[in-house]
């Protein structure tokens, strides 16, 4: 019954599109199961990868005898070994994620996105782990490759309510300690936090060998700031209340917001992470398929 009561964070359209594309690790990660993901250990398993000249110490079993016969040169055949991977979904559960100009809050959107990603990952028999943090890690669902656990993940996500402030650095740092195996860390956050802490967190994750994808979740009004009339803004996360005419400050606000987005993107670039701006006005399917298409192209190189 609990499963049937769980909120449906799974967007059918998003799932169907994502499923066709699959989750492809941009970088080669190590896995504990043979899957669709390339392993850094190019060995002698299934898929031929390349030739390499024989050096002393190589196992002569891997010599390509055909090449040797034709060219009298010693070449070793190398094979590519697919491996499965673990995706760590790190969801920002701070109070600022509660904002939504429409029916959907950022937190709701991020939860749905996380659920879809988790489902896709589990669907291709990879593992997923989910963590929700604010000033510290509030929820952590250890990694699992059981598709049946998706309802459990969604229930846990649904039960979470954002009330605290953000500390991105702490959340990412906690994850780098918790996650033993290298994998893909997907951060879903509005990034309204200390920028240095965020970059430090990214670095820690990267040092731990994770590939990091940052979904920067923003509400369309936070991007466009198209309010009219006199508005009293009640600050979330303990920010003061401000009464102003948005039209008066729109230009400055947008400049500040764009500058922040640029800084976050640059921080991602510096740490080799991937930055994805996510507008909650876009459908989940659009967001997900957009990113997966991009990722597919990147990994296909």
List residues near other proteins by CB under 8 A: 96-99, 106, 190, 192, 219, 222, 227, 229-237, 239-240, 242-245, 248-249, 252-253, 256-257, 260
CB of 96 to other proteins, least distance (A): 4
> Is 114 in contact with 89 (CB distance < 8 Å)?
yes
Residues 6+ apart with CB under 8 A from 238: 165
- Check the CA dihedral 238-244-248-250 and report its sign: positive
CB of 103 to other proteins, least distance (A): 14
Our CB check for other proteins shows the closer of 127 and 217 to be 217
Please state, in angstroms and as integers, the Cα–Cα distance from residue 69 to each residue in 48, 74, 75, 147, following that order.
19, 9, 11, 49
Our CB check for other proteins shows the closer of 53 and 232 to be 232
> Is 198 in contact with 169 (CB distance < 8 Å)?
yes
Our CB check for other proteins shows the closer of 21 and 104 to be 104
Straight-line distance from the first to the last Cα atom of the chain, in angstroms, rounded to the nearest whole number:
46
Closest CA to 82 of 123, 128, 24, 20: 24
Our CB check for other proteins shows the closer of 92 and 174 to be 92
CB of 226 to other proteins, least distance (A): 13
CB of 76 to other proteins, least distance (A): 57
CB of 233 to other proteins, least distance (A): 4
Our CB check for other proteins shows the closer of 242 and 293 to be 242
């Amino acid at each position: 019954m609990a499963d049937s009561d769980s909120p449906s964070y799974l967007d059918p359209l998003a799932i169907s599109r994502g499923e066709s594309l699959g989750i492809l690790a941009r970088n080669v990660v190590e896995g504990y199961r043979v899957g669709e993901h390339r392993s850094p250990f190019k060995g002698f398993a299934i898929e031929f990868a390349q030739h390499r000249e024989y050096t002393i110490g190589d196992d002569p079993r891997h010599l390509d005898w055909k090449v040797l016969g034709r060219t009298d040169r010693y070449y070793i055949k190398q094979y590519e070994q697919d491996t499965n991977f673990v995706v760590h979904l790190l969801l920002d559960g701070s109070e600022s994620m509660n904002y939504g100009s429409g029916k959907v809050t950022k937190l709701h959107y991020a939860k749905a996105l996380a659920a879809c990603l988790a489902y896709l990952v589990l669907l291709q028999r990879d593992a997923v782990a989910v963590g929700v943090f604010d000033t510290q890690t509030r929820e952590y669902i250890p990694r699992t490759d059981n598709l049946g656990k998706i309802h459990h993940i969604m229930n846990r996500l649904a039960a979470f309510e954002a009330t605290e402030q953000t500390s991105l650095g702490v959340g990412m740092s906690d994850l780098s300690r918790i996650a033993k195996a290298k994998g893909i860390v997907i951060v879903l956050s509005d990034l309204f936090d200390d920028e240095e802490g965020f970059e430090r967190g990214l670095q820690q994750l990267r040092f731990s060998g994770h590939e990091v994808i940052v979904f920067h979740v923003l509400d369309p009004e936070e991007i466009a700031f198209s309010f009219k009339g006199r508005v009293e803004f009640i600050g979330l996360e303990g920010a003061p209340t401000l009464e102003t005419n948005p039209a008066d400050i729109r230009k400055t606000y947008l400049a500040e917001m764009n500058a922040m987005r640029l800084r976050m993107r640059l921080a991602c670039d510096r740490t080799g992470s991937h930055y994805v701006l996510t507008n909650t006005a876009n459908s989940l399917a659009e967001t997900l398929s957009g990113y997966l298409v991009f990722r597919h192209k990147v990994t296909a190189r």
